[in-house]
């Protein structure tokens, strides 16, 4: 399908993406996904309505048009979750566009996303998390590589870092102190305590690493000295989980889930854990935990202002 889009509409799309980048700190990967989703929507409308999609045609989209797009998207194999993501991108674009072009976007904004069952994260229990850390360190024949992988996974579990955050550490962050400032999703900063065991794991790796830790260079290196790829860490955990007989859900990100769950199980406050993880919404933090409802309600009742 050849996509014909008028320059004004293309400029509007790029303007919305630039606004999302500047005002919301949206990552480049997310912006790329947004662009593809909206362009897919415009391509469908061009074919479906038989006219190039400029600003005026985009403002005339109807409820039946939206239903046709959703039906086509599902028929091409998109899951309910994927369609919901695409619809969210289109709605966000339309909110921005309607405000600037002064048209009524109700037909688009009132479209309901398909229901889907959210997959809850599956953290490891404490013994499995410790075994994962130890086993990851034994996967490589090169001692410094094993120390590297062990240090990364220790930071994921011991500090609740995302893998991108751990691999984003540079020589300027060394030596790690008792707390470190992390820049997470959307450019949001948070201060994360660093446990002695995590500092020790990192120090052991640095002492064994054959590459210099210069201020602007990445702390975690590949075997040739470049920045370590997340995929290498994922492969190391895959090997470790198979050796330990753990399920496929035992991934690097599961270590972050485990960090939150174990803190909450030990009586940690949801708001404090939310800050440690860098979540914008408390509901997101709740989804990262795997504790029974009774315990969750106890924590809620103890921390909610109205319960006091």
Assign 145 a pLDDT band (cuts: 50, 70, 90).
Answer: very high
- Select which of 199, 221, 241, 256 is catalytic: 256
More confident residue, 98 or 268: 98
- Select which of 21, 35, 122, 253 is catalytic: 253
pLDDT at 80 over 90: no
The 10s digit of each residue's pLDDT in 153-186 is 998 888 888 888 899 999 998 888 888 888 877 7
User: Does domain 7-109 match CATH 3.40.630.10?
Assistant: no
- CATH 1.10.150.130 positions along the chain are 7-109
* 241 in active site: no
- Select which of 21, 122, 185, 190 is catalytic: 185
Assigned CATH topology for domain 126-259:
hpI Integrase; Chain A (1.10.443)
* 256 in active site: yes
- CATH 1.10.443.10 positions along the chain are 126-259
pLDDT at 201 over 90: yes
- Select which of 34, 86, 148, 162 is catalytic: 162
pLDDT at 150 over 90: yes
Question: In the prediction, which pLDDT does 283 show?
Answer: 56
The token pair that represents 290 in the structure block: 């795997």
CA distance 183 to 119: 26
* 81 in active site: no
């Amino acid at each position: 399908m050849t996509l014909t889009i008028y320059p004004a509409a293309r400029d509007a799309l790029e303007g919305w993406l630039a606004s999302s980048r500047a005002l919301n700190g949206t990552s480049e990967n997310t912006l790329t996904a947004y662009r593809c989703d909206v362009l897919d929507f415009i391509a469908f409308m061009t074919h479906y309505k038989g006219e190039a999609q400029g600003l005026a045609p985009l403002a005339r989209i109807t409820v039946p048009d939206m239903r046709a797009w959703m039906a086509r998207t599902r028929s091409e194999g998109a899951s309910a979750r994927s369609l919901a993501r695409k619809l969210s991108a289109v709605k966000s674009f339309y909110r921005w566009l309607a405000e600037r072009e002064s048209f009524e976007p109700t037909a688009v904004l009132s479209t309901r996303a398909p229901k889907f069952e959210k997959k809850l994260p599956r953290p490891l229990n404490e013994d499995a998390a410790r075994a994962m850390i130890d086993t990851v360190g034994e996967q490589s024949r090169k001692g410094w590589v094993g120390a590297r992988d062990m240090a990364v996974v220790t930071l994921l579990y011991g500090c609740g870092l995302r893998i991108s955050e751990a691999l984003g550490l540079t020589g300027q962050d060394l030596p790690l102190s008792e707390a470190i400032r992390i820049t997470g999703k959307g450019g949001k900063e948070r201060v994360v305590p660093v446990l002695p065991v995590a500092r020790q794991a990192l120090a052991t790796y640095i002492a064994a690493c054959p590459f210099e830790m210069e201020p602007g260079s990445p702390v975690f290196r590949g075997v040739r000295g470049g920045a370590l790829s997340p995929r290498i860490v994922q492969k190391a955990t895959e090997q470790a989980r198979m050796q330990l007989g753990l399920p496929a859900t035992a991934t690097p990100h599961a270590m972050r889930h485990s960090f939150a769950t174990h803190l909450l199980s030990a009586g940690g406050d949801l708001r404090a854990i939310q800050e440690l993880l860098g979540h914008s919404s408390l509901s997101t933090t709740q989804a990262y935990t795997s504790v029974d409802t009774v315990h969750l309600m106890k924590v809620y009742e103890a921390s909610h202002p109205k319960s006091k």
